Amino acid sequence: MKKLISMEQAANLIKDNDVVTVSSASGLGCPDAVLAAVGKRFQNESHPHDLTMIHPIAAGDMYGIKGIEHLARKGLIKTVIAGSYPSGPSSLPMPEIWRMIVDNEIAAYNVPSGVLFDLHTDAAAKRPGVITAVGLDTFADPERQGCAMNALAAENPIVKKIEFNNQQWLHYFSIIPNVAIIRATTADERGNLSYEHEGGLLGVMEQALAVRNNGGIVIAQVKRITRAGALNPHHVHISCNLVDFIVVDPEQMQTTKVQYDPAISGEIQQPDSVFDVAAWNMEKIIARRAALQLKKGMVANLGFGISANVPRILLEEGLNGQVTWVIEQGAVGGMPLLGFAFGCAANADAIVPASSQFTYFQGGGFDIALLSFLQIDKNGNVNVSKLPGKPYLTAGCGGFVDITTHAKRLVFSGFFKAGAKQSVETGQLIIHQEGKTRKFIDEVDHVTFSGKMALERGQDVIYITERCVMKLTSDGLMVTEIAPGINLESDILAQADFQLLVSPDLKVMDSAIFMENPMQLKLREFK
């Protein structure tokens, strides 16, 4: 088999100054063995050096699949353009790639994941970059940071605001990769690739096409080899004409902390009884209130964090299957998984390419998005992408900007303050000790969602916390509901850095949310 090579040979194919695109979503689909071989070669030879790395979704994690961390060596990388980066808790050391970004050793950009997939499509078709509304008035806008994560990146802008047809747009400049490192489950002797053990297809087709059409090389890491002609052509996702080299890693992880689970790849269907319901805590209270925004028959996008618990709320209420979940890695339907396996779903109806999923998101084809927040400001702006003190606590924007641009309804969930000690007693929310960190502040550190653009687009936006529910209005954020037991003045209004409006029709949140037993939730039909 002429295309089959060793990991060392694959690493030797990458030249100084190459532009390398990597397909991954944290641990999911990460070609970790190839990246490790590249890092090892650099350690031994100081080559390849000055690479530009493109990661539509983060390559690797902080829990055992190193991904881009293999390459975090001075001189190896010159530039990183990524939708997200490895992230984790403050209890873990800062990844070296983050230290290099913070210390301005490499130029680093955070570009919306869907836009990065679009850039690959346009590179394949030899078009001059992407023109889109995604990112207007967010950190991606050149009137803010223009996607730059540090001073070195700011010196070389990659996006420009333009006017076309009497409207403002962002033009993300063309990026031409000449090496693609992708992953699959099986390769036949000719180089056809199938994905039967994978939890997502991600954007491998767009990445392979971008490289192939611009004269580069495509390296595929797989779990196993089969004979030519053994793969059903309908099961081949990447055809042999797009693949130059194959490397085999029989021990490749399916996703973070998961060697192989056939439910993640849709090979088996699991009964509802195997899924845990959400534990009784403050996060569950917030997720329950978010669940009240749903209707039977809706298609709902789901983000990482507190919102990821909402499907488990419906499961506990006997409503599993009444809402179709769509997540950016490509799963449609089923039960989205939690923790390390987030981004995958068991019992999915379909696993579509992430690139197609993002087209669906960017055009607002779904009914509602359930997302999380780190900070919110007086203009309704939301930050999920950057915390200056410990930047690696967040992965960056990922698909958040793509998802929120044209979403019809948006629900942002999070704690009202960080670090507060609270409990529920006889259905009343009790604050024992106030949190030290305010999350409702005058100006967010990073604008990942623009309240101004949401108002211009007529989007329906609400913010849910354990203490209250707020709605975005043209006059500011308005408190529409408060939790039972909470004092409006001292527990809410006095704990925000800006003036919150109060609805003349202020309500108390449904008391069932604060009881440990199921809420007896019923979803109305969506029309």
Residue positions annotated with a catalytic role: 328
For residue 238, list its beta bridge partners: 193
Residue closest to 328 by CA, chosen among 256, 404, 219: 404
Distance CA 254, CA 174 (A): 32
Beta carbons within 8 Å of 290's beta carbon, 6+ residues apart: 306, 307, 310, 313, 370, 411, 413, 464
How would DSSP label each residue in 68-122? GGGG-SBTTEEEEEES------TTSPPPHHHHHHHTTSSEEEE--HHHHHHHHHH
Alpha carbon distance 463, 411 (integer Å): 6
Q: Which residues contact 46 (CB under 8 A, 6 or more apart)?
A: 75
Instruction: Map residue 412 onto helix, strand or coil.
Output: strand
Beta strands in 233-304 (DSSP E): 236-238, 245-248, 299-302
**Beta 224-226 vs 299-302: how paired, if at all?**
unpaired
* Burial of 151 per CB tally in 10 Å (0-12, 13-18, 19+): exposed
514 in Cβ contact with 424 (< 8 Å) = yes
* Structure tokens belonging to residue 387: 């915390």
**Alpha-carbon span 110 to 85, nearest angstrom:** 9
Running DSSP on this structure, what letter comes out for residue 510? P
Which amino acid, residue 233? Answer: P
